[in-house]
C-alpha cells in the first residue's frame, strides 16, 4: 500500500478526532491550526455531550428517540441518515472518551452522571463539570501527541490556511498556508484535505465564539468552488454575558441543573432580585412551556427572552437588555461541583458571585448550523455506509468538511450538547472514507505536479503583497469596516428577520465589501504581521455574510433559528369545537404547503463575476421520520397534533 498523507485544517475536536483515526489507519497527517491546538475553540464548550445511556433506557429512551429529538428540534431540515448514524454511534463515543481519560462527573455509585439539555425530556448529557469541551479536547490531544511522537503527525501551530490546491481536473491535491510568525507561504501537498475549522461568529462582530472564528477557511473553500449550504441558519444562544469585547457563554448546563429564567413582573423593578417575592416574578419559560420549562430548544428560548425585553419592556436593567438566570436556590457545593467553570467566568467578568445573586444574561450569536456542503452515502439500514469515500466530501473531490463547518447534522436549530458529539463522530467516522478515497486515486500527494503547486502558492503570495503594498492612498481601516459589518449583521440577521431590512443590508454589504478590498494597512512588516492576516480574514467574511443574508431573504418562512414574524403561523383562536377544528385543518394545510416550498437545503455557489452567491435548493432526506409540525408552546397545539396524526395515519393506510 502506498504511503498516504492528509492535511487536516483545524485542531479542535473534529480535527483531532480525524487526525487520531487517520493515524490509526496508517495515514500520515499534517495538522494545521491557527492557534496552539489546546487553545482551539472547542476548549470553550461547556455543558456536555449527548448520548442515550443505561439510565435513560430504563425510562424508555433509545437511539431512535435521540434521532427523533434531533430532527424535530432541527425542524426537519437535517438530512436524516447522517443524524441516525451519529445517534447510534453516540454511546460508543462516550465510552471511547471515558477510556481515553476524560474526567466525566460521576454519580455516587461511580457511573457517568448525566444532565438534561434543551429539546429533550431525557438526561442524555454526559459532562465534566462545566468545562466538558476542554476535557474532551485534552484527551484527544494526548492521543495526537502520541502519534506525533511516533512520526505520524506533523503539527503546524500558528499557521493560517489560505486555499485548497486544485489540479486541472478540479481535484484537491493539498493546501496553501501561511506561517503567522515568519509570514512564510508554502504548499502542503496531500492525498486529501480535511477542513475542520468551526463556525463564522466573527461575521457578526461579537459572538460567543473565539475571536479567531472568522469563517475564513470555509469561505476560501467556498470561493475556490466548494458549495455552502444552509448559511442563513445561525444559532443565537439564549444565555450569554454581554461584553464590549465579546459575548461570553453561560452554558445551557446552568438550566440543565435547575437554573430558572425570570424577570420582575414590574418593569425595571429597582429592588435587588432576592428581595422580589416569588409571586412578583415572571418565570416566563416555565409558564409558557410547562412540559419543557427552562429547557425548551434554544431558538424558542432565545425568541422568548428577546420578546420579553424588546416587545414587553421587561428587561431587568433599564440601560441594557437582559433577564435573570437564577441559580441561587441550588446548594453551593452542587454548583461548584457541576458548574464551577462557568460560575468562575461570570464572577471574573461581572464581579458578582452567581451563587448569591442571579446572573444577568441576554442572547448572543453562538453557532453556525450551515456550512460547507458535503456528501454522504446512505446505507441499507438508513444510516451511513461505513468507508464510502463520498462521506463528508465536498463537491471538490478530495476536499472534506467535518465538525461545525459542515451542514449535515443540526438542521434549522441545533440541540445543545449535540455539537461536541457531531464533531467527534464526524472526525472518527470519516477516517476510513478518506483512506478509501486516497487508495482509489492513481496519483497521490507525493506526485502533485510542480506547476500546480507553484501556481497555487504564487497566487497567495501575490494577494499578500498586494495587500501590503497596494491602496496607498486609501483611508479604509479593516477594523472599522469589520465593526460596521458586525453591527449590520447583528441588526438584521439574528433573532428577528424582516425582508425589507435584509434587502437593504444586501445593498449595503456590497459597498462594505468593495471598501474592504481597498483597505490600507498600518503594518507593512514582514514578521508576525497580524494586520495583513486580519485584512484577509475580513475580506473573506463577505462571501459568507452575503450567503447568510441572501439565503435569509429568499426563505419566506419561520423554521428553527430563522424567524420572520411576517410568516409566523398563528395560534388557534376559536373556542368553538367545530371552528377550532377548521382552524386546525387550515393550519395543517398551510404547514404542508410551506414544506413543499421550503423543506429544502439552501445550496450556494460563489459567483466571482457578480461577487454574490448563486442559490439553488436541495431536497432533504426525511425518509426515516416524516416531518411533523413543531408545536412547542403553540396555543391549540393539541388540536393541530390531533389533525396531523389523523392525516398521517390516513396516508399510511393508502
Question: Catalytic residues, which ones?
Answer: 298
DSSP 652: H
84 in Cβ contact with 52 (< 8 Å):
no
How far apart CA 284 and CA 262 sit, in angstroms, is 6
How far apart CA 475 and CA 362 sit, in angstroms, is 36
Which residue spans within 305-445 are E strands per DSSP? 323-326, 359-368, 371-372, 399-401
How far apart CA 468 and CA 458 sit, in angstroms, is 15
456 in Cβ contact with 165 (< 8 Å):
yes
137 in Cβ contact with 38 (< 8 Å):
yes
Neighbours of 500 (CB within 10 A): 10
CA angle 566/572/574 to nearest 5° reads 130
Helix (H, G, I), strand (E, B) or coil at 588: helix
Read off the C-alpha cell for 391. 462521506
Which residue spans within 448-575 are E strands per DSSP? none
Distances (CA, A) of 278 to 48, 123, 283, 317, 434: 31, 28, 9, 19, 57
How far apart CA 257 and CA 327 sit, in angstroms, is 9
Edge-to-edge order in the sheet of strand 153-157: 153-157, 28-33, 5-9, 192-195, 399-401
CA angle 32/34/35 to nearest 5° reads 105
517 in Cβ contact with 449 (< 8 Å):
no
DSSP 29: E
Q: H-type helices in 100-228, by residue range?
A: 132-149, 216-223
- What residues does 68 pair with on adjacent strands? none
How far apart CA 251 and CA 366 sit, in angstroms, is 11
How far apart CA 454 and CA 471 sit, in angstroms, is 26
DSSP 307: I
Amino acid at each position: 500500500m502506498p504511503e498516504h498523507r492528509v492535511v487536516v485544517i483545524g485542531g479542535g475536536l473534529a480535527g483531532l478526532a480525524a487526525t487520531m483515526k487517520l493515524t490509526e489507519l496508517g495515514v500520515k497527517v499534517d495538522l494545521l491550526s491557527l492557534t496552539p491546538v489546546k487553545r482551539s475553540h472547542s476548549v470553550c464548550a461547556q455543558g456536555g455531550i449527548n448520548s442515550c445511556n443505561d439510565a435513560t433506557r430504563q425510562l424508555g429512551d433509545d437511539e431512535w428517540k435521540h434521532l427523533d429529538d434531533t430532527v424535530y428540534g432541527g425542524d426537519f431540515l437535517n438530512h436524516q441518515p447522517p443524524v441516525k448514524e451519529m445517534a447510534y454511534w453516540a454511546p460508543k463515543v462516550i465510552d471511547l472518551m471515558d477510556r481515553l481519560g476524560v474526567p466525566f462527573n460521576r454519580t455516587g455509585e461511580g457511573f457517568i452522571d448525566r444532565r438534561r439539555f434543551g429539546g429533550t425530556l431525557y438526561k442524555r448529557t454526559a459532562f465534566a463539570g462545566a468545562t466538558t469541551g476542554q476535557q474532551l479536547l485534552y484527551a484527544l490531544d494526548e492521543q495526537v501527541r502520541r502519534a506525533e511522537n511516533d512520526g505520524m503527525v506533523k503539527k503546524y501551530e500558528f499557521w493560517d490556511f489560505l486555499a485548497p490546491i486544485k489540479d486541472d481536473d478540479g481535484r484537491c491535491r493539498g493546501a496553501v498556508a501561511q506561517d503567522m510568525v515568519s509570514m512564510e507561504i508554502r504548499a502542503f501537498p496531500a492525498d486529501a484535505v480535511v477542513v475542520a475549522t468551526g463556525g463564522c461568529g466573527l461575521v457578526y462582530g461579537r459572538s460567543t465564539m473565539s475571536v479567531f472564528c472568522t469563517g475564513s477557511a470555509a469561505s476560501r473553500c467556498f470561493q475556490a468552488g466548494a458549495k455552502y449550504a444552509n448559511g442563513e441558519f445561525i444559532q443565537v444562544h439564549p444565555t450569554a454575558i454581554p461584553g464590549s469585547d465579546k459575548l461570553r457563554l453561560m452554558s445551557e448546563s446552568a438550566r440543565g441543573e435547575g437554573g430558572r429564567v425570570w424577570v420582575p413582573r414590574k418593569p425595571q423593578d429597582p429592588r435587588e432580585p432576592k428581595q422580589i417575592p416569588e409571586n412578583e416574578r415572571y418565570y416566563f419559560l416555565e409558564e409558557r412551556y410547562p412540559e419543557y420549562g427552562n429547557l425548551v430548544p434554544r431558538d424558542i428560548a432565545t425568541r422568548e427572552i428577546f420578546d420579553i425585553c424588546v416587545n414587553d419592556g421587561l428587561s431587568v436593567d433599564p440601560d441594557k437588555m437582559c433577564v435573570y438566570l437564577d441559580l441561587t436556590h441550588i446548594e453551593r457545593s452542587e454548583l461548584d461541583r457541576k458548574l464551577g467553570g462557568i460560575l468562575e467566568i461570570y464572577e471574573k467578568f461581572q464581579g458578582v458571585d452567581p451563587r448569591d445573586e442571579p446572573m444577568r444574561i441576554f442572547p448572543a450569536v453562538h453557532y453556525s448550523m450551515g456550512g460547507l456542503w458535503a456528501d454522504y452515502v446512505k446505507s441499507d439500514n438508513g444510516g451511513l455506509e461505513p468507508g464510502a469515500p463520498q462521506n463528508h466530501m465536498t463537491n471538490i473531490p478530495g476536499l472534506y468538511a467535518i465538525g461545525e463547518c459542515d451542514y449535515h447534522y443540526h438542521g434549522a436549530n441545533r440541540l445543545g450538547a449535540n455539537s461536541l458529539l457531531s464533531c467527534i463522530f464526524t472526525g472518527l467516522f470519516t477516517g476510513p472514507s478518506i483512506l478509501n478515497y486516497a487508495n482509489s486515486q492513481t496519483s497521490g500527494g507525493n506526485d502533485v505536479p510542480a506547476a500546480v503547486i507553484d501556481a497555487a502558492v504564487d497566487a497567495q503570495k501575490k494577494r499578500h503583497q498586494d495587500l501590503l503594498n497596494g491602496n496607498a492612498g486609501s483611508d479604509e481601516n479593516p477594523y472599522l469596516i469589520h465593526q460596521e459589518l458586525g453591527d449590520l449583521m447583528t441588526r438584521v440577521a439574528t433573532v428577528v428577520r424582516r425582508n425589507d431590512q435584509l434587502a437593504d443590508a444586501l445593498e449595503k454589504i456590497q459597498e462594505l465589501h468593495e471598501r474592504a478590498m481597498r483597505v490600507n494597512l498600518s503594518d507593512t512588516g514582514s514578521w508576525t504581521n497580524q494586520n495583513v492576516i486580519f485584512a484577509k480574514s475580513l475580506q473573506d467574511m463577505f462571501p459568507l455574510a452575503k450567503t447568510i443574508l441572501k439565503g435569509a431573504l429568499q426563505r419566506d418562512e419561520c423554521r428553527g433559528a430563522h424567524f420572520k414574524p411576517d410568516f409566523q403561523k398563528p395560534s388557534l383562536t376559536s373556542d368553538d369545537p367545530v371552528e377550532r377544528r377548521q382552524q386546525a385543518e387550515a393550519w395543517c394545510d398551510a404547514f404542508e404547503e410551506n414544506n413543499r416550498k421550503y423543506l429544502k437545503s439552501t445550496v450556494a455557489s460563489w459567483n466571482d463575476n457578480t461577487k454574490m452567491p448563486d442559490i439553488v435548493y436541495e431536497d432533504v432526506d426525511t425518509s426515516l421520520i416524516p416531518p411533523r409540525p413543531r408545536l412547542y408552546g403553540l396555543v391549540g397545539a393539541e388540536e393541530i397534533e390531533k389533525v396531523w396524526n389523523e392525516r398521517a395515519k390516513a396516508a399510511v393506510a393508502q
